[in-house]
Structure 1
């Protein structure tokens, strides 16, 4: 049997996860955001993808300059080119994964 403490922790965790994702939709359902906020939010997907990509390509060490990982850096260039040309993120992700797998297999 599940204890009330564990059940309460699961319910509280679900709420903490769910509320920040649903609350913005509820708050902006009937009221539009200012143009400045909409313009700012339009840049978020690009910056998030760049941050995730940079963290995958660079290997940081404390007290040293970051080093670029050679295989991942080589794979990023054609992947970005493909994403810019086709505007298809799913295809770019698949090509990037295949490129990294192929380069790791060769090297």
Structure 2
């Protein structure tokens, strides 16, 4: 049975997740931003994608140098090529998943 504390924790988690995603849209609706802010925000999606990509191809351990994961790094090459040629993120994700799965199957991992 779900107790009252559990319900409050779920509701609090929903608010904490919702606020940083929705609040910026609410606060900037109908307002223009300074040119410097707009220039900065243009690079934000690229930075986020790069950070997510790098974190998925690099293995870091405490006390060791970071190392590139070989299968993921190899799969990154055709995925990057698809993005450059088609500008289609969904197709690139599909290619990345298929290439990674194929390489893992062939290597026996």
* Shared fold, TM over 0.5: yes
Name the CA distance, whole Å, in 2 between partners of 1:40 and 1:85.
26
Matched, 1:10 2:10: yes
Give the superposition deviation at 1:2.
5.3
Name the CA distance, whole Å, in 1 between partners of 2:61 and 2:15.
37
Other-structure match for 1:71: 71
Give the superposition deviation at 1:80.
0.5
Unaligned segments of structure 2, at least 5 residues: none
Unaligned segments of structure 1, at least 5 residues: none
Name the CA distance, whole Å, in 2 between partners of 1:67 and 1:5.
43
3-state DSSP of counterpart to 2:31: coil
Q: What is the alpha-carbon root mean square deviation over aligned residues? A: 1.5
Other-structure match for 1:98: 98
Name the CA distance, whole Å, in 2 between partners of 1:69 and 1:5.
42
Of the structure 1 ranges 14-23 and 69-78, higher mean CA displacement relative to structure 2 is found in: 14-23
Give the superposition deviation at 1:67.
1.1
Other-structure match for 1:88: 88
Name the CA distance, whole Å, in 2 between partners of 1:55 and 1:37.
27
Name the CA distance, whole Å, in 2 between partners of 1:6 and 1:58.
36
Other-structure match for 2:47: 47
Give the superposition deviation at 1:7.
3.1
3-state DSSP of counterpart to 2:75: helix
Name the CA distance, whole Å, in 2 between partners of 1:48 and 1:19.
19
